[in-house]
Structure 1
Amino acid sequence: MERIRLTGAQATMLATLYGKAMDARSPNSVLHDTMALEAVRRIDHDFSKVGIKPGDASTVALRSLHFDGWTREFLAAHPEATVLHLGCGLDTRVFRVDPGPGVRWFDVDYPDVIDLRRKVFPEREGDYTLLATPVTPAGWLAQVPADRPVLVVAEGLTMYLREEAGRELFRAIVERFPSGQLVFDGFSKRGIKLQKVNKAVQVAGATLYWGVDGPAELESIHPALRCVSAVSAFDLDGFDRVRLAYRLLAKAARMIPVMRRMAIMYRLEF
């Protein structure tokens, strides 16, 4: 059993991991992430206190399933590419997607998170690198070859960044690579203000900072950026598989624009 001492934004990854593990145990699993379930068994932590209940698990899994889909789409179109999985936490996306031999994949997170990944997940063959560094500032990008199209996956990350730091990170990526996509989820400014009702954030002692009110704010980061998808978290495929309370919440949110825009999955191209 691996003992952990994580606080703040880093600790929120435990809620995400637990949600995927609980989903994997369900007979109606969305993501089938059995590696997440095994990781929970190997970590010495009281997961009942991370702010995620078993009934919430499918909503966590739906978000990851959506980003897995975008990742597979990009790699199908670009079989020789670089993937930067920013704030990877204990996500097993590289194992779920299982990229081909032409893909160079980097999982990037704080040193203590990367150390924990090495302990709970098996080594992976191929062009796979664990980078132990904060994602901002972006000086670590110098370690990444810039000779291929890049896919940047930042699930559950941007809201924890200061706005200018996040914008500088995106600019640095666009200016380093020849082309690519950035896929990530963002909260609206109202969503940031409501962080006190986000149980997982409060339990971890984390703080949300960067709120995004629509594609125009993101496209203003760099002239080369163009938003090609902006999908509400309440419009994701699979809500028919979540518990009744969430189905009713999603139905109500779709009818109220301010709620529908509170959490968005973005896909930007450059």
Structure 2
Amino acid sequence: MSERIKPTISGSAETMLQSFYARARYSKSKHNKFYDAKAVELVDKIDYDFSTAARDSTMRKGVIARTVVFDELVKNFIEKNPYCTVVNIACGLDTRFYRMDNGKITWYNLDLPETIAIRNQIFEESGRVSTIGIFALDPAWSKEVKVRGKMLFIIEGLSMYLTAEGNGKILKIIKDNFDNACILMECLAKAWVKKEGIEKSIQQTGSKFVFGADHFEDLGNMTTGYHKIKDDNILRGMELFSSAYRLLALLPIAKKVTQKILIFEKDEQSM
């Protein structure tokens, strides 16, 4: 890839570039918990001003913490279901497949057509890992998932930019079209809704935090046909930056205000 890639995206889609930068920078650190080889290789080949992201430690720490915890959860699922199919909703420039691949899984990266166009320039994916360029709220994407079986759906870095109605549409598409579905859904803590200014690089894109949930129960009617497995969070990922987070994690207020990863499954009777 000799020419630099100039992304033509804005708003919430643009936030994928901040996440990509955060993973590249962290991967270059001496004691990294994970190494994102693609991000390291290609971050300098993207024609984009990352200066605000470089100064935004709040954003970077959040991205790394959630990446570590999501990696743990996805790895555990794949170990229990080695031939599963994973659908990564709003994938951006995520590279988790390359860290998780056991040689047996099938993986779909789903995002907006303009985002997938950029992704395809960088990754050129096919075979057991492929892309779908359709808006996540459009049921048409479900027909592009050809391999079924035990299903894992990752919703990372998306729900906070959608309304409750929008998030509900995604969960309904999954419920209506897939059996054996397990969902890992990242949610902003409700305390941080409308406070996107805490992450300057996100604010710079014009994105707005409009939705949050502290517990599975906060999702309300959108989870009809699902049952709760666990309310998780990214605090153990934050421990990478300071041992103080280990003590902080013991406080109820810490669990309340941190990013959540809600884990739930489709009910058998809904299949």
The verdict on a shared fold, with TM-score over 0.5 as the criterion, is yes
- 1:204-231, Cα deviation, whole Å (9 max, x unpaired): 1111222223111336424431221212
Identify the match of residue 72 of structure 1 among 57, 71, 75.
75
1:149 matched to 2:150? The reply is: yes
SS at match of 1:106: strand
How much identity, in percent, do the aligned residues show?
24
Partner of 1:42: 45
1:179 aligns with 2:180: yes
* Residue matched to 2:269: none
Per-residue CA deviation, residues 1-60 of structure 1 (Å, 9 max, x unaligned), is: 111222110111111111100111100112211211112021011211236546864542
1:196 deviates by 2.6
* Amino acid in structure 2 at the alignment position of 1:269: E
Cα deviation, 1:140-165, whole Å, max 9, x if unaligned, reads 21222374121001111111112111
Would the aligned equivalents of 2:238 and 2:245 in 1 still touch at CA under 8 Å?
Answer: no
Note closer, same or farther for the CA distance 1:161–1:146 as it changes in structure 2 (3 Å cut).
farther
Which SS does the other structure have where 1:15 is aligned? helix
Q: Tell me the residue number matched to 2:24.
A: 21
Given the alignment, which residue of 104, 107, 113 partners 1:105?
Answer: 107
Counterpart AA for 1:116: I
Question: 2:217, 2:21 → 1: CA distance?
Answer: 34
- 1:32 corresponds in structure 2 to 35
Q: Secondary structure at the match of 2:110?
A: strand
Structure 2, unpaired ranges of 5+: 267-271
User: When the two structures are superposed, what TM-score results if normalisation uses the length of structure 1?
Assistant: 0.87
Change (3 A) 1:209 1:139: farther
Query: Where does structure 1 differ by over 6 angstroms across 4 or more consecutive aligned residues?
Result: none
2:151/2:182 contact within 8 Å kept? yes
In structure 2, distance between residues paired with 1:237 and 1:49: 23
2:85: which partner in 1?
82
- 1:84-233 to structure 2, matched below 5 A, reads 84-101=87-104, 103-121=105-123, 123-124=124-125, 126-145=127-146, 147-218=148-219, 220-233=221-234
Partner of 1:265: 261
Residue pair 1:50, 1:204 contacting (<8 A) in 2 also:
no
CA RMSD of aligned residues (A): 2.4
Question: Alignment partner of 2:169: what SS?
Answer: helix
Does the 8 Å CA contact 2:53/2:59 hold for their aligned counterparts? Answer: no
The aligned length equals 263
Counterpart CA distance in 1 for 2:6 and 2:65 is: 28
Label 1:160 to 1:238 Cα distance change in 2 as closer, same or farther (>3 A).
closer
Q: Structure 1 4/112 Cα, relative in aligned 2: closer, same or farther at 3 Å?
A: same
- Mapped to 2, the partners of 1:249 and 1:238 lie a distance apart of 6
- CA–CA distance in structure 2, aligned partners of residues 195 and 30 of structure 1: 27
In 2, Cα distance between equivalents of 1:220 and 1:214: 13
Which ranges in structure 1 are unaligned for 5 or more consecutive residues? none
